[in-house]
Amino acid sequence: MPLVKRGNSKFWYVQFQLNGRHFIKSTRTTDRKIAERIEAQLRADVYAEVVLGKKKPMTLEATLQRFLDSKTGTANHRNLVSRRKTILRILKGSMLASMLTSDDLEHYRTTRAKAGIAAQTIKHELNFIIGAMNAARKAGFEIPEIHAPTVKVSSGRTRYLTSAEEARLLAALDPTRVGNGLAPVELREPRKQQEMQDNYDLVVLLLDTGARYSEIADISWERIDLPNRMIKLWRSKVQNESVLFMTDRVFEVLSRRWANKTSEHVFTNKNGGPRGYRVIALRKAFDRAGLTDCSMHTLRHTHASRLVQLGMSVYEVRAILGHSDIRTTMRYAHLEQTSVSSRARDLINRLNSQAGEVI
């Protein structure tokens, strides 16, 4: 019989055989007429798949999730969770993966690039999409074979801000600035003024801590120890904690914000929750400052570069940045070599000077 009842279930089940394979599935209905229609559709789908070789469709969201599930327990799983969430903000998850085109991936690339996202990050995200699509296609789902657009990753030295460039950026973010269609400070909407202050304060903290954007943008007050001038920073990307000591200007910013806090988070969204990824105004500030080749990650590079230039070893900087792999920190090694070389020059000059005094 094609429709049967099983056990104590109140639903009708479809049950049949095709090409030696046994198929059984609940119709999730107690109405026999509806169950008969479901049975007919299921038979047609199975016939198309088994006999005609038609492949099963899958949504983009399900395709990404299936690939993510296959990576559970790996060191990179947490990063992939974040990438999936980012991808689905731009590409429609409910669309069939079979409808995804190279133009969609190019749209994704340009959207992320305009948001100031580093080329390496965009490349990782596109690789995640392609990896998910390839895995689903091998499993027999209806997935087209498409290729990700080329993303040029600079092989040059890491971009960081000079002191003059930092000054320009902070001037472009100054919450008391005028012009560009801004009303005078005393006439501004409180929410607008608060957003401008938030952007300025956030950049100061990123410059002076070297933290990743999300680590500061979403930080809660329970991780701020003002009496001891410490920040207990949880690094979700690498699953470790760093204790950072505040610079004078970080202490000033956090003290001011503590005195006026209205939430458990240092930076908030409109609903009082963590700020989240909101960088459009910051991207515009980079442009106003003439720093069109910079991104939010440039602030982290700036902090690390200055530490190396001031004499810290790359191993010490690794601890500050919370890198899990020293190879990531080695991008600053050329600056350490320059610092060592200048110290060597100073030592030789001092030795030569002492020798001259003896003569």
| Sign for the pseudo-dihedral over CA of 29, 31, 34, 39 | positive
Q: Can you give the pLDDT at residue 113?
A: 87
Which pLDDT score is estimated for 228?
96
DSSP for residue 331 = G
Q: Greatest CA span in the chain, whole angstroms?
A: 112
Compute CA 213 distance to the chain's CA centroid, rounded to the nearest angstrom.
9
Q: Which CATH architecture has domain 163-341?
A: Orthogonal Bundle (1.10)
Question: Tokens standing for 345?
Answer: 């020059």
Helices vs strands, H then E, count in the chain: 14, 6
Contact 237, 295 (CB under 8 A): no
pLDDT, residue 139, reads: 84
Please say whether the beta carbons of 287 and 281 come within 8 A. no
Whether residue 204 contacts residue 250, with contact meaning beta carbons closer than 8 Å, is answered with: yes
| pLDDT, position 201 | 98
Helix (H) or strand (E) holding 253: helix 248-259
Q: Quick: pLDDT tens for 313-324.
A: 888 888 888 877
pTM of the model: 0.61
Contacts of residue 172, defined as CB under 8 A and 6 or more positions apart, other chains included, come to: 285, 286, 288, 289
Answer whether 99's CB lies under 8 Å from 141's CB: no
Where does 179-312 show beta strands of DSSP type E?
Answer: 224-225, 230-235, 240-245
pLDDT number for residue 169: 97
Phi, psi of 25 (to 5 degrees): -155, 140
Amino acid 96: pLDDT: 92
pLDDT along the chain (359 residues), means of 10: 82 84 85 88 73 73 93 80 92 92 92 83 92 89 86 73 95 90 88 95 96 92 96 80 92 96 94 89 94 90 88 84 77 67 70 66
- Residue 13: which H helix or E strand, with range? strand 12-18
pLDDT of residue 263: 94
With 0-12 CB in 10 A as exposed, 13-18 as middle and 19+ as buried, what is 129? Answer: buried
For residue 261, what pLDDT is reported?
92
CA 216 – CA 204 distance, rounded (Å): 11
Q: Running DSSP on this structure, what letter comes out for residue 309?
A: H
pLDDT at site 167: 96
